Amino acid sequence: MASTGSDFREDFSEASLKSHTVTYRVVAVAGIAVAAILFRVYVPRWISYLAYLELPLLVTIYFSLMRRSPLAGVCYGACIGLAQDSLSPDPLGMFGIVKTLVGYFAATVGQRFNVDNTGVRFTLSFFFYFFHQFFYWVLARALLAQMIGFDLPTTLIVAVLNALVAVPLFRVLDKLKVTE
């Protein structure tokens, strides 16, 4: 739930940020990433409006934010993106590039903010979803010459919905943290 004002300030203290670096089991990260991609591929077949839920992106954002390592963020983004590309009819690399950037920036942001805060998680999820969609659109037009449209109002609404899903999802994923 949302932190109070004093909690928020406390969350941003230097000592608090350093103590928030967390690790995950490789198997857990890989399993969650694969599950997210499979969800993206097969669940919308039966519940069509869930096609708007970009779970691979949310997983990338979460692990990048929590690891607070740009290098790890790049790896998460590239791997999840390329895996998603391999099940897409578009050339390999489209999702890979976009998610690599998202992973890098999310990890960089994670070094400066307390990403356990619900408001921060919501805002970052909203922002990165929008960034993901917009950058994918730019790449598709520039590199693939696909004249697809960019529906700004719809994208903003879907970004809010994804951010709303991201908050409880991140709470669930927090259970996978490995405490040292």
Contacting positions for another protein (CB under 8 A): 37-38, 40-42, 44-46, 51, 56, 70-71, 74, 77-78, 82-97, 100-101, 104, 108, 133, 136-137, 140, 143-144, 147-148
Which CB atom, from 81 or from 125, has the smaller least distance to another protein?
Answer: 81
Counted residue by residue, the chain has a size of: 180
Tell me whether residue 8 or residue 137 sits nearer to another protein (CB atom): 137
CA 61 to chain centre: 3
Closest CB 133 distance from another protein, rounded Å: 7
Smallest separation, CB 42 to another protein (Å): 5
Shorter beta-carbon distance to another protein: residue 24 or 96: 96
| Closest listed residue to residue 117, CA positions, set 23, 36, 47, 16 | 16
Q: Are 75 and 97 in contact (CB under 8 A)?
A: no
Backbone angles phi, psi at 154, to 5 degrees: -65, -40
Element (DSSP H or E) covering residue 55: helix 55-67
Q: Which of 127, 133, 115, 111 is nearest to 163 (CA)?
A: 127
Task: Name the residue nearer to another protein (CB basis): 64 or 125.
Answer: 64
Distance in Å, CB of 59 to another protein, minimum: 13
Beta strand extents in the chain (DSSP E only): 23-24, 177-178
d(CA 152, CA 45): 25
Q: Cβ of residue 34: shortest distance to another protein, in angstroms? A: 9
**CB closer to another protein out of 78 and 115:** 78
Minimum CB distance to another protein, residue 83 (Å): 7
